[in-house]
Structure 1
Amino acid sequence: MDNDSDAGFRLAVDLASQNGMDETARANRASLLEAYQDIAEGKMERFMALLHPSVSLHQAPSLPYAMDTKGLDETLAGFEQVMVAWAKMHVTITELTAAGDLVVACMQVSARSAATGAPYEAPCTEVFRFHDGQIFDWRPLYWDTHAVRNAFGLPATTQGAPA
């Protein structure tokens, strides 16, 4: 995969410390790191193999691709929906930490909406819960969902705001 700045998708891995993890956490973190490294080379197979048959993917209700999937087919369809929503997406993993069955990836996302061409840039965190060495629950947490909505030309939402 072409990994220059003009590529449609680019991933860089820049990790800090690895302290405070047990063997399960180390194994889960290593599996996800290897999958991310493969994604950086344009290979998705290892990541797809990490997904548990009962995996769920949760995207915030305010996002243009809000979802709560259950099962591999729904999750893959949901993931595809997110990927086609962005014309370009560059992700840099800045931290990958784990404890027990939980792995958290902190990243910087720079993207363009496929619908409008408008840019989006902000931190994002993906929280993965593992079961028997596979991702069972996946929760991307965007720093600014309002900015995502703006990039897609959608009106502001008051969902989740105090009454």
Structure 2
Amino acid sequence: MTTTRSALEKFFAAEAAYITEGAPFDVMADCLAPDVVMYQAEHLPYRGEWHGRGGIEKFMAAMSATWESLEFVEQRFVVDGDNVVIYNRGRMLARATGRMLETSVMQYMTFRDGLIAEIRPFYLDTAAVMAVTTAQSG
């Protein structure tokens, strides 16, 4: 049986591989409940609610269109039953601008039957994400 921590490690490794290497979505999908929901902040290029495995796959395509690479520099997991808080510090390279962003994202996730059922990321600085990913005219 897969533990919550090992499921998280598998999910995040698959996410980085998807963004950086174009790896298939299947490994991530295996970690998700069929009715999973993700909530992204309105001030991000990939804003909004993403429903179901298909929605998360569309979200990942939007992430991949935004970022050329994703590297997790530090991760900390606090697991309390089916509730998990994850601190991610990472580096991302923006496709549109070629600029690098190092930032932190705190995520609250819930699990159901060993699968991720809800994802709520909280970015340290959404304005920095937009600044790095948006070409500046001038």
Structure 1 and Structure 2 fold alike (TM over 0.5): yes
Report Cα offsets for 1:123-157 as digits up to 9, x if no partner.
Answer: 112221111111111122211101001112279xx
Distance 1:38 1:114 in 2: 19
Gapped regions of structure 2 (runs ≥ 5): none
Query: Following TM superposition, by how much is the alpha carbon of 1:118 offset from its aligned partner in structure 2, in angstroms?
Result: 2.0
* Contact 1:86–1:114 under 8 Å retained in 2: yes
Which stretch of structure 1 is more off in the superposition, 119-128 or 27-36? 27-36
Cα distance in 2 for partners of 1:74, 1:39 equals 15
Partner in structure 2 of residue 29 of structure 1? 5
User: CA RMSD of the aligned region, Å?
Assistant: 2.5
Pick the structure with more helix per residue. 2
Q: Deviation per CA, 1:25-82: give whole Å up to 9, x if none.
A: x932232224445667776644320101101111100111102011111121112211
Equivalent residues, number? 130
Percent of residue pairs identical: 25
2:83 is the counterpart of 1:106? no
Tell me, what secondary structure is at the counterpart of 2:78? Answer: strand
Rounded to whole Å, the distance in 2 between the matches of 1:64 and 1:115 is 12
Larger mean CA deviation between 39-48 and 104-113 belongs to: 39-48
Whether 1:64 aligns to 2:64 is no
1:86 matched to 2:62? The reply is no
Indicate if the aligned counterparts of 1:29 and 1:103 stay in contact, CA closer than 8 A: no
Residue in 2 aligned with 1:136?
Answer: 117
CA contact (8 A) 2:97 2:135 kept: no
Q: Per residue, is there more strand in 1 or in 2?
A: 2
Q: What is the rounded CA distance, in whole Å, between the counterparts of 2:37 and 2:117 in structure 1?
A: 6
CA contact (8 A) 1:51 1:136 kept: yes
Residues of 1 paired with 2:72 and 2:82: CA distance? Answer: 24
Within 2, Cα distance between the matches of 1:97 and 1:59?
A: 21
Which residue among 98, 102, 109 is the counterpart of 1:121? 102
1:40-51 superposed matches below 5 A: 45-51=26-32
State the SS of the aligned residue for 1:65. coil
Instruction: Work out which of the two has the higher radius of gyration on C-alpha atoms and give 1 or 2.
Output: 1
Q: Unaligned stretches of 5+ in structure 1? A: 1-25, 156-163
1:39, 1:147 → 2: CA distance?
A: 21
Q: So what's the TM-score if we normalise by structure 2?
A: 0.80
CA contact (8 A) 1:29 1:97 kept: no
